[in-house]
Structure 1
Amino acid sequence: MNFVPSISTESTRNLFNSTVFLFFTVATVKLTHSFGRYLLRNSTFASGVSMSSSSSSSTTNDAETLRHGRILSSKLYFDVPITKVPLIYSDSYDIAFLGIEKLHPFDSSKWGRICRYLILDGALEKNCIVEPLEASKDDLLVVHSESYLNSLKNSSNVAMIIEVPPVALFPNCLVQQKVLCPFRKQVGGTILAAKLAKERGWAINVGGGFHHCSAEKGGGFCAYADISLCIHYAFARLNVSRVMIIDLDAHQGNGHEMDFSNDGRVYILDMYNPGIYPLDYEARRYITQKVEVMSGTLTNEYLRKLDEALEVAGNRFDPELVVYNAGTDILDGDPLGRLKISPEGIAIRDEKVFQFARERKVPIVMLTSGGYMKSSARVIADSIVNLSKKCLIDMRQATI
């Protein structure tokens, strides 16, 4: 059956054809317009994504260029006479702040006492010690943001970082002079240590190791990220592309772990007590090789775990520089570390790490880091003497 009525006249057919033509014309125009708007919208979106990506890439490149420029213009790397031993210290390392420094368990005069012990023992001549320069604001900006450094102009923020509440009550100019200036001097020492290690095979900064500080956050008596700074300077100026951090402080090194969270050039071996500060579970995700030692761990068990860890690390990674964070808060009796390692165990531990570097012909930087007993200074000095006796370092004064 045909449901379309017959078209009987020519005029009717013409009217019908005109109507159909008009309908399809309007529909086509609307469709074309809509499609055009769709293409425009999407091309604009695509262009926006491209521009955003390009802008982000450009910003990153600009930041890297600025960082590289700051490193190259820094005065922290300077030539050290061969008559000096690559052991770095300054009298200004020690913190004396109207006795307030004693409110924190950290021995803020241990750095000077280590050197005095070495000199009294006849292991070191005072005139052989290398004195570093203080890290400037431009030096610190290689890792830290402007906003973080500005936050240190507030005494309350510094008080929280160094965990001494009364510091918040003092004018910031005094806090800068008595607290932050000694820290900045130690940062200069850590950075210089990498240059000396590359030249001499080893270097010890009798200070530094502020491993709880990252680019944007301080804490745990650590106001500046000296380990991160040291490594970035090594990348830029020492032709180094692979660095291993061996962190044997009792506490987790959450600062450098956050700073190098996505950097395959840095291998982090962290051997720490998981039941104490900082309990930074996010940073733990970025530890390349995690070795947890529980409270109460004894010397023999500790050294066995260290042997195993060093063997694994040596098989997994081929470093061009080792940064050794040699905290002595693993000592038996340390109120914060809660481990039970003997003084002799500390010396053997340090010997094992230096031997690890020696066997691989890799320069090593040692930092003294944490240690919360008065006995720590003596233990560190004895360990350095042991390294010298074992010919892993050479403390003799060179002659021209």
Structure 2
Amino acid sequence: MTSLHFDIRPDQWPLVYDDRYNVSFCGLEKLHVFDSKKWRNIIQYLKEADFITGQELVKPLEAKKSDLLVAHTKKYLKSLKWSARVAIIAEVPVIALLPNIMVQYAYLKPMRLQTGGSVLAGKLALERGWAINVGGGFHHCSGDRGGGFCPYADITLLIRFLVMKEMIQNAMIVDLDAHQGNGYQRDFLGVPEVYIMDMYNKDIYPRDSHAKKAIRRKVELHSRVEDLEYLVKLRKHLQLALSEFKPDILVYNAGTDILDTDPLGLMCITEIGIIKRDEFVFEMCKENNIPIVMLTSGGYLRKTAKIIADSIMNLHSKGFISGQ
């Protein structure tokens, strides 16, 4: 089957992270607005706050070709051997000029590790009630195409592995990244066992009308939306979603690109708004006894790492996550 699912020690938290998640192209990664060290910075903030020491973290395994084929076509995986193709997905044109062996090591390997982290986090959520992959959430990638900095379909893989192992029969995806999650939507189009709720800025990328057909609860927002409207709509629609569908697991794509001044999300949600958003999603899962797996997804400002760390600590202080 897969080596991505494995057991963890009782003293470990279902917080999945490896320092090799972070992308480094000799500085070329700075040509993209994404903070390619975001994941390391989240962990650093958690350590500085004495929330974790590092011993509690779970290191995932890298997704192998056999794992990736559970979601991806051979043709798509083969296309990643061309640097020009990867440059389009990563949105850093200069990558096209680099040898593919360097592209594999500096960008695709970290992404395969994060993908392995998402798959593992799905299993851990079922066992512990919650799990967070401090990475992943590549919601623009489907089985046959990548895009928007997303080279692997980790959300599709997370769900498919749990179904294949008969650990779940159905799943709900709640996508609160600023962008429409068109990748997994294409993969789960016509699959009634996967309920998709997507709340996003309709004025920005990817505007994928075909993929939208897979969304069961679509909440389209406009640029410049603020906390009050956002949180009221989230509360209303998530409660309705959970009244319509009782999932075996909830996959929460928790992008922080909804933050005010984010250059790509174009929304106006405050730091407190993001923390309250995460708190409400976890609260609903606890209230309905649904295991939740959170992926960090998009977020293009340096300060989002601290917000994610603060949110994780808030979830703990409110009793929604704990070590045991």
The counterpart of 2:63, out of the listed 114, 132, 135, is: 135
Partner residue, 1:69: none
Determine if the alignment matches structure 1 residue 174 to structure 2 residue 98.
no
Unaligned runs of 5+ in 2: none
Distance in 2, matches of 1:235 and 1:228, equals 11
Q: How does 1:57-96 map to 2 (within 5 A)?
A: 73-96=1-24
SS of 2:55's equivalent in the other structure is: helix
**How far is 1:122 from its partner?**
1.1
What corresponds to 1:193 in structure 2?
Answer: 121
1:244 alignment counterpart: 172
**TM-score with structure 1 length normalisation?**
0.80
8 Å contact kept, 1:198–1:238: no
**Structure 1 stretches of at least 4 aligned residues deviating more than 6 Å after TM superposition:** none
Separation in 2, partners of 1:390, 1:95: 33
- Highest RCO, 1 vs 2 (Cα 8 Å, sep ≥ 6): 2
Which has a greater percent of helix?
1
Between structure 1 and structure 2, the one with the greater Rg is 1
Taking the aligned partners of 1:279 and 1:318, their CA distance within structure 2 comes to 28
Q: Which residue of 2 aligns with 1:273?
A: 201
2:215 is aligned, of 280, 287, 304, to: 287
Gaps in structure 1 of 5+ consecutive residues = 1-72
1:239 CA drift (Å): 2.3
Out of 160, 170, 182, the position equivalent to 1:254 is 182
Alignment of 1:228-377 (within 5 A): 228-377=156-305
Matched residue SS, 2:298: coil
Separation in structure 2 between the aligned mates of residue 96 and residue 313 of structure 1, nearest angstrom:
39
Q: Secondary structure at the match of 2:294?
A: strand
Contact 1:250/1:271 (CA < 8 Å) preserved in 2?
yes
CA RMSD of aligned residues (A): 0.7
Is residue 101 from structure 1 mapped to residue 29 from structure 2 by the alignment?
A: yes
Aligned sequence identity (%): 53
Counterpart-to-counterpart distance in 2, 1:268 and 1:301:
21
SS of aligned partner of 1:245: strand
CA distance in 1, matches of 2:46, 2:22: 16
Alignment of 1:14-53 (within 5 A): none
Q: TM-score, normalised by structure 2?
A: 0.99
Task: Name the SS for the 1:127 alignment partner.
Answer: coil
Separation of aligned partners in 1, 2:299 and 2:268: 13
Shift of 1:125: 2.0
Q: Is the CA contact (8 Å cut-off) linking 1:195 and 1:238 kept in structure 2?
A: no
